[in-house]
Chains A and B, each alone.
Chain A
């Protein structure tokens, strides 16, 4: 059974960089069968796709965050990571990592990690 687990600091100061890692078990990032995505959810609000990365390191980011987002992959550790720079209070959210199905029928997210709350505050 595939499982994803987010990890990283729960508190980040304004203007600093948010850094999270997702560890995958039960599947191999390097298999090339899927993309791997980050999605966030501010408290009481809906879901926002942030971006995704492929095993080769190829990325796609949401345009509104493109200037601040960097994703990377470490296939030796079966992990992928998210960095979001110059954070503000608006970046406070639960951050999820998810496997992004790569199919001709479209992309869906399954499974998801349990999520990690990141609060931006001084």
Chain B
């Protein structure tokens, strides 16, 4: 059971918008720790998608955006494409555990 809670799966048709939530608590996201997002394509290592809640690394399309409010964060993907099909993970820091923690991951299916 992960410290950060994500929906196991989301889906959407090409061109649509989907959001993936990441719910934490007062010892991680709610304590003000930043949230980062990763995309993991099948058989590969995770790739940084969003850092510090809202920032995109160079090369990440602006179809991907992040937000954070209270004890939760969200990743939004607009204009869904077939190659967006992947697992997505959120990550933050937990002060009560003193470790960096990940969400359980969300599998995005493009219908």
Interface, chain A (partner B; CB < 8 A): 37, 46-49, 62-63, 96, 98, 101, 105-115
Contacts of A110 in B (CB 8 A): 47-48, 51, 57
Interface size class of B (residues with CB under 8 A): 20 to 34
Contacts of B47 in A (CB 8 A): 110-112
Kindly state the separation between the CA atoms of A74 and B33 in the bound complex, as whole angstroms: 31
Kindly state the separation between the CA atoms of A105 and B54 in the bound complex, as whole angstroms: 12
Shortest Cβ distance from residue A111 to the other chain B in the assembled complex, whole angstroms: 7
Q: Chain B: which residue is nearest A62 at the CB level?
A: B99
A-B contact pairs, 24 of them (CB 8 A): A46-B102, A47-B91, A49-B99, A63-B97, A96-B45, A96-B46, A105-B34, A105-B51, A105-B52, A106-B36, A106-B52, A106-B92, A106-B93, A108-B48, A108-B51, A109-B36, A109-B46, A109-B48, A110-B48, A111-B45, A111-B48, A112-B45, A112-B46, A115-B45
B24 at interface (Cβ–Cβ under 8 A)? no
Kindly state the separation between the CA atoms of A55 and B70 in the bound complex, as whole angstroms: 35
Which of B38, B45, B101: most chain A Cβ within 10 A?
B45
Contact B89 A114 (CB under 8 A): no
Kindly state the separation between the CA atoms of A111 and B46 in the bound complex, as whole angstroms: 8
Kindly state the separation between the CA atoms of A48 and B45 in the bound complex, as whole angstroms: 13
Shortest Cβ distance from residue B72 to the other chain A in the assembled complex, whole angstroms: 16
Interface string of B46-64 (1 = CB under 8 A from A): 1110011000010000000
